[in-house]
């Protein structure tokens, strides 16, 4: 038996774990007390990780689809040769934009992303689609306008705030904040602190809150606008803060003063007195922050919601301070900055062929991809790589995805498991699991202290599975984009003394890339093939962390030193890299001061630019808006987070201790009217399609609303779908106009009882 350190890979917290392993299996999983951020905390989901590591859908060998639809085992050599040849043909015949990359990453799998993105560069394409494009890009867009770059991402200091507003989030189940359940307990038991939850359902978090505003689904924008209007009318905004750190407040104030507060409170179905109480409490607290999530990001007014929640903490001066909201740093650059206004000046932002959609933070919305494939023009998408994602189940409108993916000339899926998407692929390339390779997450999103956890391999790869860095590097070698070896760089990497600052290697790498500029886009694979060989066995994938650590240490020199890393301007990055490589429980990257938030703003004047004309326009349009959903008696909140659902990497239904059907929650009065009882079967029908569900009675759900969990619908081992296939109901057109984020939390539906008919008895 061995005891090892690793991390949970089921949500963005990536809690540190101490695991015991015997005969190639986890035998015990505990929280890792040495992890600098999570300090031993875990939730119940981590204990079931064995169901991810070994299950019947795991892939073992590369597979090629045959004419009859079955799959045959092929060698890596054959698969990669064939794929490389087809990619080059498509690039030559149709240009790079005939190629799109989907997914890449996941909750714990971001190191591979540095390698897979190179394939886009090799194909001369910019079409990167991933789940962030159907969840967070509205938020990124607003950040770009406020702070000067879509890479400016905010975090919230819930642990130290006196007043916390949770809007459209249920941290008890969804986590997303440090050690969520402990943090909620601390908030609840301190009489000097206030927890407010804005959620249409009395969630597990709402049950612990001081105040729960059970808002009508889809009306969060009205409620937040009303709160802001009250704050400004009553002069509770922070004038000094606004004058010192912001521009555009006068224009914003004018918009807010025009808001009909009582009408908006009524529209959101919250008593005016409660709206006033929360607005005043938030604005006058010593410190206050806002934590939001998909509840307001995947519902009506996605982007406007993102703007208004940020205005709450900015107008009240709860930004750049302890207990407020802040910006944070990234080690892995998972977000880009793609400001669509640049197209007006003839710059190079790429619009999609059919929808003429621009990327946000470098990401295109999955909502439009089926149309981009089915588009009749010569410039349609013809080839797709799907990596660590299952679009057929997880992106809106499964039917459209099925139809479109069947029309592709080349579909390659890189995954650990036979997913619903993989079943349509021409080639399936088996990836090593997250515990069979060195890995890391890019979701290190904390401030003022930021951490990073590089995990080492715990098991040898299953069958012939390969880590993604090896798959993509071999592919680039086969397409001829990089040579098979870099002997000089490799020699220098091996010669350089272990404790050196890597200056010799970095110098040689810089000179090589300056000489061969076309290789610059493939630096990750070049570093992998050279420096990677000088790293401990199996750790080559981590090699690109050296240049990233150097850049990070250069940008945040004082904060990195404050975190205890030793070195001067030349050597600090290398010291940080060594700490990342050596500390099995993760390392603190940087320790900032709250005032550093201002240096992280990308606007030249280091101020927040509050006036965004597009948002003002949307705010004004609220007054005359008619809520969608007429003719449908229920609003479905699709994708609820529960105690035993997770992302799609848990395929084996045996991992669940409860809720095997992913039941539909419904208010008892609604159930009574439909003659539905606990455990009854019903159909749920949207404008798009219909699925069968099992009913769970829950008086925490508002009347007229029903909920279904995400993470179901898989066909484990060729079974029928297990639980709801949510995206049969969702539509790509019911979405935010600006970001194209689907309104998963506001799907108009009918629910009808299934009347079981008795079998006929033959004579």
In angstroms, the CA 586 to CA 453 distance is 4
Closest approach of Cβ 16 to ligand SF4, in Å? 9
Closest approach of Cβ 289 to ligand SF4, in Å? 20
- Phi first, then psi, for residue 136 (nearest 5°) are -115, -5
In angstroms, the CA 451 to CA 564 distance is 12
- Is 110 a binding residue for ligand SF4 by CB under 6 A? The answer is no
709: closest CA among 721, 690, 689, 693? 693
In angstroms, the CA 161 to CA 196 distance is 12
Closest approach of Cβ 39 to ligand SF4, in Å? 12
Interface region with ligand SF4, contact rule CB under 6 A, candidates 42-50, 319-327, 427-435, 479-487: 42-50
In angstroms, the CA 751 to CA 377 distance is 40
Total residues binding ligand SF4 (CB under 6 A): 11
Interface region with ligand SF4, contact rule CB under 6 A, candidates 41-49, 323-331, 467-475, 549-557: 41-49
Interface region with ligand SF4, contact rule CB under 6 A, candidates 38-46, 87-95, 252-260, 536-544: 38-46
Q: Across-strand partners of 17?
A: 6, 31
372: closest CA among 614, 125, 555, 155? 125
Interface region with ligand SF4, contact rule CB under 6 A, candidates 10-18, 133-141, 330-338, 500-508: 10-18
Nearer of residues 8 and 195 to ligand SF4, judged by Cβ:
8
- Is 13 a binding residue for ligand SF4 by CB under 6 A? The answer is yes
- Is 187 a binding residue for ligand SF4 by CB under 6 A? The answer is no
Q: What is the DSSP letter of 305?
A: H
Angle formed by the axes of helices 468-479 and 76-94, nearest 10°: 60
In angstroms, the CA 477 to CA 101 distance is 19
- Is 649 a binding residue for ligand SF4 by CB under 6 A? The answer is no
Nearer of residues 647 and 730 to ligand SF4, judged by Cβ:
647
CB 745 within 8 A of CB 736: no
- Is 8 a binding residue for ligand SF4 by CB under 6 A? The answer is yes
Number of residues that make up the chain: 763
Nearer of residues 204 and 371 to ligand SF4, judged by Cβ:
204
Nearer of residues 181 and 354 to ligand SF4, judged by Cβ:
181
45, 321, 592, 728: which one binds ligand SF4 (CB under 6 A)? 45
Nearer of residues 14 and 479 to ligand SF4, judged by Cβ:
14
Nearer of residues 26 and 528 to ligand SF4, judged by Cβ:
26
Closest approach of Cβ 449 to ligand SF4, in Å? 18
Q: How many CA atoms lie within 13 A of 56 on its CB side?
A: 10
In angstroms, the CA 517 to CA 373 distance is 32
Residues 387-426 that bind ligand SF4 (CB under 6 A): none
Closest approach of Cβ 238 to ligand SF4, in Å? 34
Dihedral in degrees, nearest 10, Cα atoms 530, 536, 537, 541? -50
Residues 495-524 that bind ligand SF4 (CB under 6 A): none
Please tell me whether residue 263 adopts helix, strand or coil conformation: helix
- Is 441 a binding residue for ligand SF4 by CB under 6 A? The answer is no
- Is 10 a binding residue for ligand SF4 by CB under 6 A? The answer is yes
Closest approach of Cβ 335 to ligand SF4, in Å? 21
Interface region with ligand SF4, contact rule CB under 6 A, candidates 39-47, 190-198, 476-484, 586-594: 39-47
Give exposure, 730-739, as e/b (b: 16+ Cβ within 10 Å): bbbebbbebb
Interface region with ligand SF4, contact rule CB under 6 A, candidates 8-16, 186-194, 430-438, 687-695: 8-16
In angstroms, the CA 555 to CA 567 distance is 14
- Is 14 a binding residue for ligand SF4 by CB under 6 A? The answer is yes
Distances (CA, A) of 476 to 422, 482, 544: 22, 6, 16
718: closest CA among 422, 412, 416? 422
288: closest CA among 159, 161, 187? 161
Residues 664-683 that bind ligand SF4 (CB under 6 A): none
55, 175, 478, 688: which one binds ligand SF4 (CB under 6 A)? 175
From residue 121 to residue 160, the character string flagging contacts with ligand SF4 as x (rule: CB under 6 A) and all else as - is ----------------------------------------
In angstroms, the CA 657 to CA 660 distance is 8
Q: Across-strand partners of 154?
A: 327
Nearer of residues 29 and 146 to ligand SF4, judged by Cβ:
29
- Is 291 a binding residue for ligand SF4 by CB under 6 A? The answer is no
Closest approach of Cβ 470 to ligand SF4, in Å? 26
Interface region with ligand SF4, contact rule CB under 6 A, candidates 6-14, 20-28, 71-79, 600-608: 6-14
CB 616 within 8 A of CB 251: yes
- Regarding beta strands 154-156 and 194-198, do their DSSP bridges make them parallel or antiparallel, or are they unpaired? unpaired
29, 37, 43, 506: which one binds ligand SF4 (CB under 6 A)? 43
- Is 314 a binding residue for ligand SF4 by CB under 6 A? The answer is no
Strand 25-31: give its sheet, edge to edge: 2-7, 16-22, 25-31
CB count in 10 Å sphere of residue 578: 19
Closest approach of Cβ 203 to ligand SF4, in Å? 16
Nearer of residues 43 and 213 to ligand SF4, judged by Cβ:
43
19, 21, 37, 42: which one binds ligand SF4 (CB under 6 A)? 42
- Is 641 a binding residue for ligand SF4 by CB under 6 A? The answer is no
15, 161, 386, 414: which one binds ligand SF4 (CB under 6 A)? 15
403: closest CA among 367, 374, 368? 374
Closest approach of Cβ 46 to ligand SF4, in Å? 4
544: left (phi over 0), alpha (psi -120 to 50) or beta: alpha
Distances (CA, A) of 509 to 222, 332, 424: 54, 20, 40
- Is 656 a binding residue for ligand SF4 by CB under 6 A? The answer is no
- Regarding beta strands 747-753 and 634-640, do their DSSP bridges make them parallel or antiparallel, or are they unpaired? antiparallel
- Phi first, then psi, for residue 10 (nearest 5°) are -95, -20
19, 21, 29, 46: which one binds ligand SF4 (CB under 6 A)? 46
493: closest CA among 534, 529, 548, 527? 534
- Is 29 a binding residue for ligand SF4 by CB under 6 A? The answer is no
Nearer of residues 109 and 597 to ligand SF4, judged by Cβ:
109
Closest approach of Cβ 646 to ligand SF4, in Å? 7
- Is 194 a binding residue for ligand SF4 by CB under 6 A? The answer is no
CB count in 10 Å sphere of residue 556: 24
In angstroms, the CA 727 to CA 386 distance is 18
Interface region with ligand SF4, contact rule CB under 6 A, candidates 3-11, 272-280, 334-342, 693-701: 3-11
- Is 11 a binding residue for ligand SF4 by CB under 6 A? The answer is yes
Point out which residues bind ligand SF4 (CB under 6 A). 8, 10-11, 13-15, 42-43, 45-46, 175
């Amino acid at each position: 038996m061995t005891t090892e350190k690793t991390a949970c890979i089921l949500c963005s917290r990536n809690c540190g774990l101490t695991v015991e392993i015997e005969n190639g299996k986890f035998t015990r999983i505990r929280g890792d007390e040495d992890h600098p951020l999570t300090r031993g905390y875990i939730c119940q989901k981590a204990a079931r990780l064995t169901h991810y590591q070994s299950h019947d859908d795991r892939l073992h060998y590369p597979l090629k689809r045959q004419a009859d639809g079955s799959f045959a085992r092929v060698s890596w050599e054959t698969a990669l040769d064939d794929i490389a040849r087809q990619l080059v043909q498509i690039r030559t015949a149709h240009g790079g934009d005939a190629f799109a990359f989907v997914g890449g990453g996941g909750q714990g799998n971001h190191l591979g992303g540095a390698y897979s993105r190179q394939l886009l560069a090799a194909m001369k394409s910019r079409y990167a689609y991933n789940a962030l494009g159907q969840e967070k890009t509205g938020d990124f867009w607003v950040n770009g306008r406020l702070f000067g770059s879509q890479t400016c991402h905010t975090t919230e200091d819930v642990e130290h705030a006196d007043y916390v507003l949770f809007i459209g989030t249920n941290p008890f189940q969804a986590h997303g904040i440090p050690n969520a359940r402990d943090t909620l307990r601390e908030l609840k038991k301190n009489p000097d602190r206030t927890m407010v939850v804005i959620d249409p359902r009395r969630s597990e978090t709402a049950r612990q809150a001081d105040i729960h505003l059970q808002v009508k689904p889809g009306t969060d924008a009205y409620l937040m606008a009303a709160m802001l209007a009250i704050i400004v009318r009553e002069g509770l905004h922070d004038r000094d803060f606004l004058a010192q750190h912001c521009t555009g407040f006068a224009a914003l104030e004018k918009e807010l003063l025009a808001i009909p507060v009582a009408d908006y409170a009524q529209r959101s179905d919250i008593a005016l007195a409660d709206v006033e109480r929360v607005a005043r409490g938030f604005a006058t607290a010593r410190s206050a922050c806002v934590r939001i999530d998909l509840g307001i990001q995947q519902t009506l007014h996605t982007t406007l919601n993102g703007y208004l929640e940020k205005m709450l903490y900015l107008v009240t001066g709860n930004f750049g301070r302890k207990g407020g909201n802040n910006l944070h740093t990234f080690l892995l650059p998972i977000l880009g900055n793609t400001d669509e206004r640049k197209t007006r000046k003839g710059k190079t932002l790429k619009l999609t062929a059919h929808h003429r959609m621009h990327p946000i933070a470098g990401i295109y919305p999955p909502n439009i991809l089926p149309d981009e494939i089915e588009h009749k023009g010569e410039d349609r998408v013809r080839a797709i790589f799907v990596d660590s994602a299952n679009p057929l189940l997880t992106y809106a409108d499964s039917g459209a995805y099925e139809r479109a993916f069947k029309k592709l000339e080349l579909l390659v899926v890189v995954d650990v498991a036979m997913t619903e998407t993989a079943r349509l692929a021409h080639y399936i390339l088996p990836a090593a699991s997250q515990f069979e390779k060195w890995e890391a997450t890019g979701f290190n999103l904390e401030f003022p202290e930021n951490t990073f956890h590089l995990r080492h391999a715990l098991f040898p790869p299953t069958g012939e599975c390969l880590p993604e860095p090896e798959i993509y590097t071999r592919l680039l070698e086969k397409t001829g984009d990089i040579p098979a070896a870099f002997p000089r760089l490799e020699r220098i990497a091996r010669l350089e003394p272990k404790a050196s600052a890597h200056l010799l290697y970095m110098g040689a790498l810089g000179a090589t890339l300056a000489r061969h500029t076309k290789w610059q886009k493939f630096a990750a694979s070049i570093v992998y093939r050279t420096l990677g060989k000088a790293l401990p066995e199996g750790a080559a994938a981590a090699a690109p962390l050296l240049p990233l650590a150097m850049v990070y240490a250069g940008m945040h020199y004082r904060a990195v030193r404050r975190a205890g890393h030793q070195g001067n301007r030349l050597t600090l990055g290398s010291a940080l890299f060594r700490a990342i490589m050596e500390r099995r429980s993760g390392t603190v990257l940087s320790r900032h001061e709250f005032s550093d938030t201002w240096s992280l703003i990308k606007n030249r004047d280091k101020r927040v630019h509050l006036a965004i004309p597009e948002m003002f326009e949307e705010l004004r349009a609220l007054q005359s808006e008619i809520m969608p959903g007429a003719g449908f008696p229920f609003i479905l909140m699709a994708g609820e987070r529960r105690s035993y659902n997770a992302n799609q990497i848990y395929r084996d239904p045996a991992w669940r201790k409860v809720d095997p059907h992913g039941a539909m929650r419904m208010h008892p009065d609604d159930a009574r009217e439909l003659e539905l009882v606990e455990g009854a079967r019903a159909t749920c029908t949207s404008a798009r399609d219909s699925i069968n569900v099992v009913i769970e009675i829950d008086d925490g759900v508002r009347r007229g609303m029903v909920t279904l969990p995400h993470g179901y619908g898989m066909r484990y081992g060729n079974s029928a779908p297990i639980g709801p296939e949510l995206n049969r109901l969702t539509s790509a057109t019911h979405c935010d106009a600006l970001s194209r984020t689907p309104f998963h939390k506001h799907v108009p539906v009918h629910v009808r009882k299934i009347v079981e008919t008795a079998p006929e008895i033959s004579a």
